[in-house]
Structure formats: structure tokens, C-alpha cells
A = this chain, B = another copy of it.
Amino acid sequence: MNERMPNFLKKRMFLTPDRTAVYFKDQTVSFKELYDRSLKAAGQLQGLGVQQDQFIGVLLKNHLDTVVILFALQLLGVKSVILNNRLTSSELVWQLKDSKSSFLILEEALSDKMNEQNLLIGAITKESLFNRKPEVPVIRDDINLGDICTIMYTSGTTGHPKGVMQSYGNHWWSAVGSALNLGVNDNDCWLCSVPLFHISGFSILMRSVIYGMPIVLHETFDAEKTIKDINEKNVSVMSIVGTMLKRVMETLGAERLPGHFRCMLLGGGPAPLPLLVACTEKEIPVFQTYGMTESSSQIVTLAPEYSLTKLGSAGKPLFPSEIRIEGEEGGAAQAGVAGEIIIKGPNVTAGYLNRPDATAEKIRDGWLYTGDIGYLDEDGFLYVLDRRSDLIISGGENIYPAEIEAVLLSHPSVQDAGVIGIDNEQWGQVPVAFLVTKEGDYPSEEALRQFCGERLAKYKVPKAFYFIEKMPRNAAKKLLRRNLKEWLIEGRADR
């Protein structure tokens, strides 16, 4: 993984300067223009003291400027700590500290999140940055595939977010693995309406520069705009999650997508079968996929020829990658037997930033233990049963119950807390909380919601609070979240 390679954007600009790189609103930017803008931004960043090998926080929305800044950081050889802009101020500050970031680039519209006295590092809005006089930047002509390109935070069962180290090689191999599965056509164009701060969105940027392929960048997902741009901008591939796909289908109504559209890459958890069947009937090619921040997006994707016969499966691991189902006694489980999904490959992270213990716990013998549960059928196709057992996926965002529980437990009236996901028409799932409070102390639902809202991103705030007498825990005091689900179904919890 220490192969030396030309700087991706610089090489792409050299190879095909005139090809379109990004369509954003009414702007069309070629690779040459993208390079020139990124070079200028790199000079502006350098003028601020930003330099190679630093970690720099990035808190930006989906926008052409974000693409420019992310590539400017790559040109300088800076490691970008890409922050989820739905997080609260305290969550963001925690991640900046944890990653030892030297600086923060954010946008005006998000700057209220950062008016915190506890942010001890320099920060600049992109608006101010772009007004600075640029220096002549020192550009990295080449990179090592082992170098860290980006850090993205993900939580785990312990509740503490961990910075996933994504190297240039991780992103490269991910893009190549996808190319060898989905193909690369001359007239491909990838629609990105998923967040650039997620690996789902960021990986589209990397494919763009590695393939020399235009992307259509949307600020947020909008079903009508999606359909319009698929038609007018010749979009051929789109990354999507179940709730988005559902809205596209509803908006389409009796219409169909044009013939040049060849792939809905469906991530973010399994989609309901009726939705997949409806897509099949409309001849919309849906490719179920399985991946995570740690695998720099897809690691398992259904190949075109099996999209019908293996409906519901996430497919087989991409060419350079491998998966295995860990049996109860260790070693590979037999076909049809469920167990933990473990993954391996050059797209898989080397570990978590500054967390040797967490890294050692999750990566054993070269295999990353995902915590997700699934099985392989007799032909080796993966079926994902449960994401990280406790993981809640809400509108494509990962929510870790333990993180919410930790916040609830910090409330003065709360003695014990448990969080689970429940099905939701609009978001797929939403979190709800179960609380054991101190005797005679019943905080109002509104007070709890406000308490959480100050400490957690909005989508993580429980949509309901249930008061119970005793939290179901096993002998080892491990919370039995499945019991909470059953109680809810049986109506045994009071709201």
C-alpha cells in the first residue's frame, strides 16, 4: 500500500483537462477549471499557515466550493477531517480535539455552531478564505497510497466516535473495485445528492477524478430535481438510500427513467422488498450494496446479471476485496448460517486515528470485524440481516444507541437509559429512548428533548421517551435491546 502515485487531481487535469468534472446549479466546471480553483484555494490555505501532514477540520455543505476545498487540501497533502454538519457544537469540538486538528474551515451558514469558546484552534469561513490573496502553493506532485487522505468519524457500541483513517489507497481501490464491477463508460455521469461529508458522497468525488467522469452535485436530495437532472444532464449512475429511492418512485408516478440511466447504487441498509420489486417493474436497475466508512464505501455489490435473481442480496465482494461470515466457534460459517460479517481488502481502513486499542479490537489478523450480522447463500451472495446489531439507520445516517444513551445518562434525573430504533415511514428508522429515572423524578418529554438537542445532532434526538422500572440487562449487565423492542410491541412500556 505504499505505492507512489501521481496526485489524483493533478494527473486527471493533465490527462483530460477539458472534460466536465462537476455540474453544480448552473455552473459547469472542467477538470482544468477545478484544478485551477483548487490550486488557488491551496495558495490561500497555505497563506493561513496550513501545511502538509496537518489534520484540518472541514465543516461544509454540498457545494462546488466544498469540492474545491477538499481537492485543495489534497494538493497540499493535508489530511482532511471531514465533519458531519448535522452534529452539534459539542460533538464537533470533540472530534476536532480528538483528531488534533490544527485548523477548521467552515462556512458562514454553519458558523453559529462554532461560536464556542472551547474551540481552541484557528477557524476561517470559506467566504473569508476565498477573499484572501493566495500564495504560490507547494503542491504534492505525487502521493503514497498509504498516506491518510481523509478522516471520517463513526461511532461504535462504546458510544465514543472514532476517526476512521481513509488513505489515498483506500479511496483508489474502492473506485477501482467499483469500476471493475459496474464498468466505466465514456458517457457516465454520477449524481451526488448524498452528503460529501459521508463516504457515500466523498467516494463519488474520488471516482470522478480517478475515472475522469463528471458528477452532478446537489445541495440536498430533492426527488423532482433528481429526475430532472437524470434526464437533462445525462446522469447514468446515482448513489441512493432506501428512503430517497422511495420518494423518487413516488415522484416518478407513471413516468420512467431514460435509457441512459444504468444504475441506482443502493446503500445505507437493506431496502424493503416491495420497493425493489416496484423498481424492477419500472425497469430501474437497482444495485444493492453493502459498505461502511471503514471500507471507503462499497465492499459488496450485486453484479448486473444478478439484480433480479438475487433480489435482496448485497451481492459479492468487489474484485480486490473479501468477506467472510465468522461462525460461532471462529472460522468461516457454513452457507446459510448467520454470523458476524468480517471484511478485508485494500479499500479497508488500517484503523482508527490515535486509537490503537480500538484498532486492535476491530481488526484481527487482517480482517475487520464489522459487528454486522449476515449470511452467505450457497453461491456466496451476501444477505445482510442486521446492521451492527444495535445500529439505527435513519434517512441514511448511522445512529449509535450507545452515544445517545451516554447523553441521557448525563441528565441529573436519569438512572439508566436504553435506546433502540423503530420503523418509520419517512426515515426508515428513528431512535426512541427508554429511561429509568431516580425515584419520584419524572422529567418532561420536552425537557428531555431539549437536553438531547443541545448535545446531539437533531436526527439523533429520540422521537419518544418511555419510562420503565428496570432496564433489561443480562448477568454481565449488557443491555438487552431486543427486550426493549419486544416490550414496545407488546405495549409494556409507558410513555
Contact = CB atoms under 8 A, between A and B. Distances in A.
Contacts of A18: 305
Contacts of A211: 180
Interface stretch (A3-11, A88-96, A422-430): A3-11
Q: Name which of A4, A179, A180 has the most chain B CB atoms within 10 A of its CB.
A: A180
Contacts of A396: none
Interface stretch (A68-76, A117-125, A181-189, A483-491): A181-189
Interface string A150-184: 00000000000000000000000000100111011
Nearest to A19: B305
Main secondary structure of the interface of A (DSSP, over half): mixed
B304 A15 contact: no
Contact of A319 (B180, B181, B210, B320): B210
Nearest to A211: B180
Stoichiometry (number of copies): 2
Interface string A407-440: 0000000000000000000000000000000000
A216 B320 CA distance: 25
A316 interface: yes
A138 interface: no
A316 B380 contact: no
Contacts of A77: none
A401 interface: no
A14 B180 contact: no
A291 interface: no
B180 A183 contact: no
A316 B212 CA distance: 14
User: Chain A interface: which size bin?
Assistant: 20 to 34
B180 A210 contact: yes
Nearest to A184: B183
Interface string A304-320: 11000000000010011
Interface string A39-76: 00000000000000000000000000000000000000
Contacts of A176: 176, 179-180
A102 to B, nearest CB: 31
A186 B186 contact: no
A354 interface: no
Interface string A202-225: 000000001110000000000000
Contact of A316 (B14, B180, B319): B14
Contacts of A320: 3, 5-6
B186 A319 contact: no
A382 to B, nearest CB: 12
Contact of A16 (B19, B179, B305): B305
A278 interface: no
A111 to B, nearest CB: 38
A275 interface: no
A180 B303 contact: no
Nearest to A366: B4
A181 B184 CA distance: 9
A303 B15 contact: yes
Contacts of A12: 319
A341 to B, nearest CB: 17
A12 to B, nearest CB: 8
A285 to B, nearest CB: 11
6 contacts: A6-B319, A6-B322, A11-B319, A14-B316, A180-B210, A183-B185
Interface of A: 1, 3-6, 11-12, 14-16, 18-19, 176, 179-181, 183-186, 210-212, 303-305, 316, 319-320, 322, 346, 366, 380
